[in-house]
Amino acid sequence: MKACFLFPGQGAQYPGMGRDFYETSKAVRELFELASEESKIDLKRLVFEGTEDELKQTQNTQLSVALIGAAAAICAREHGIAPEGCAGFSVGEWPALATAGVVSTGEMFRLVSARGRLMDEAGKRSGGSLMSAVLSLAPAAIEAAIAEAGLKNVWIANYNSPTQSVISGTASEIALAEEALKAAGARRVVRLKVSGAFHSPIMAYARDGFAEAVADIQFRDPTVTLFSNVTGARIETGTEAKKLAVDQIVSPVRWIDEEKAILAEKPGFCVETGPGTVLGGLWKAVGGEVPCYPCGTLDQIAAISL
C-alpha cells in the first residue's frame, strides 16, 4: 500500500476551509452542489460565510468536515495522489467509505446529514451529557480511575493516542470523572464543546434512528483497503461496513488500533485528507518512520506531489 488517506473528524472545521479547492476544481464545485442538494443546506454559504458558532452545530460540523475531506481527496487525485487505503476519524469515516466505493458520494451526504441530526437529538434527549479530553494519561489508567470511582455512566469515547483519550458520559458523572482523572495523574482534563456524549451508549437513540436510515441502502465491498473505528481492523465487505457504520455511533473510536492496522499494511505515506493537522499529530505517536502529510490546502497537496 503506497498512500493511505486519513480523513479528520469533528473539531477540525474552521470558517473558509477548502476555498482554494472550490475555486480551482470544477469537480469540487460539483461536489458542493451535490452535498447541498442531498442535505438541503447551502453548504457553500455555511463553509465560506458561516460563523464559527454555526459550524460548531453538530449537523453543520459533520456535513462540512465530510465535504472538505471529500474535496481534499478529489484535489489530491487531480494532483496524482491516489489512495490505496482509507481511514477516517468518527464522521471522517464517511468520506473514507465513499472514497473506497462502499457508498456513493450522494448517499454519503444524505447519511451524514441524518447522522448529525440524530446525534444532536440524542444529546438533547439525554438530559445532559458531555465529553472531555484527557491528556498525559494512558487509556488503561483512565479506565482504572473510572472504575475505582464507581462511575457507571462514563466511558472512553476516543482512544486517540497512548497519552490522549476522550471520555463521554452524563453531566454529573463526567464532573466526578474529571476530578478522579486529575487525581490519577492526568496533566489536563479539558471539557469539549459538543452537543452530547458521542461514541457512547448515550447515543442509543441516534444508533437506532440511523439503522433505519441505512436500511435500504446497499453498501458495496471496498475497492481499496479500508479500516474501521469500531474494530480498529480492516473492513472486508459491504455487509460488514453497514453494520459497523451503525455500531460506530455508540462505540469508541479505536484510533490507536486503527493506526497500527494501517502500519501493518506497510504504507509508503499517509495524507491527512481534510482540514487541520490533528490526525498528523496523533500519527506521530504510533506511525514510526512513515510520514503523514497535511492535505488541507492546494499548497500542501502540491508539496506532496512534487
**SS3 (DSSP) at 299:** helix
Identify whether residues 120 and 131 lie together within a single domain. no
**pLDDT of 169 higher than 60:** yes
Same domain, 9 and 116: yes
One domain, residues 161 and 102: no
Q: Which of 137, 23, 12, 25 is nearest to 78 (CA)?
A: 25
| C-alpha distance from residue 112 to each of 70, 94, 214, 215, 238 (Å) | 12, 7, 11, 14, 17
CA distance 123 to 133: 18
- pLDDT of 277 strictly over 60: yes
**What is the tens place of the pLDDT at every residue in 17-73?**
999 999 999 999 999 999 999 999 999 999 999 999 999 999 999 999 999 999 999
Of 141, 160, 191, the position where a domain reaches its end is 191
Do 11 and 80 reside in the same domain of the chain? yes
Question: Domain with 142 in it: what CATH number?
Answer: 3.30.70.250
Is residue 29 domain-shared with residue 141, that is, in the same domain?
no
Reported as a single tens digit per residue, the pLDDT across 219-233 is 999 999 999 999 999
Q: Where are the beta strands (DSSP E) in 182-245?
A: 188-191, 225-226
Percent of the chain with pLDDT over 90: 96
Residue 196 lies in a domain: no
Supply the range of the domain harboring residue 9.
Answer: 3-124+201-305
pLDDT of residue 306: 52
Question: In this structure, are 84 and 207 located in the same domain?
Answer: yes
Tens of pLDDT, residues 253-269: 999 999 999 999 999 99
pTM of the prediction?
0.97
Measured between alpha carbons, how far is 139 from 85 in angstroms, rounded to an integer?
27
- Give CA–CA dist 262/85, Å, rounded: 8
Same domain, 173 and 209: no
Q: Which among 242, 61, 103 is positioned nearest to 95, based on CA atoms?
A: 103
Angle subtended at Cα 200 by Cα 54 and Cα 186, rounded to the nearest 5 degrees? 85
8-21 pLDDT tens trace: 999 999 999 999 99
How many domains, in total, are found in the chain?
2
Asked if residue 250 has pLDDT above 90, the reply is: yes
Beta strands (DSSP E) in the chain are 3-7, 85-88, 129-135, 154-161, 164-170, 188-191, 225-226, 269-272, 292-294
- Helix, strand counts (H, E) of the chain: 14, 9
User: In this structure, what CATH number is given to the domain that contains residue 210?
Assistant: 3.40.366.10
- Across the chain, mean pLDDT equals 96
Whether the pLDDT of residue 128 is over 70: the answer is: yes
Among 202, 96, 226, CA closest to 154: 202
The pLDDT value given to residue 93:
98
Instruction: Grade residue 288 by pLDDT with cuts at 50, 70 and 90.
Output: confident
Residue 23 covered by a domain: yes
Query: Which residues are the active-site residues?
Result: 90, 199
Q: Is residue 228 part of a domain?
A: yes
Judgement on whether residues 248 and 273 belong to the same structural domain of the protein: yes
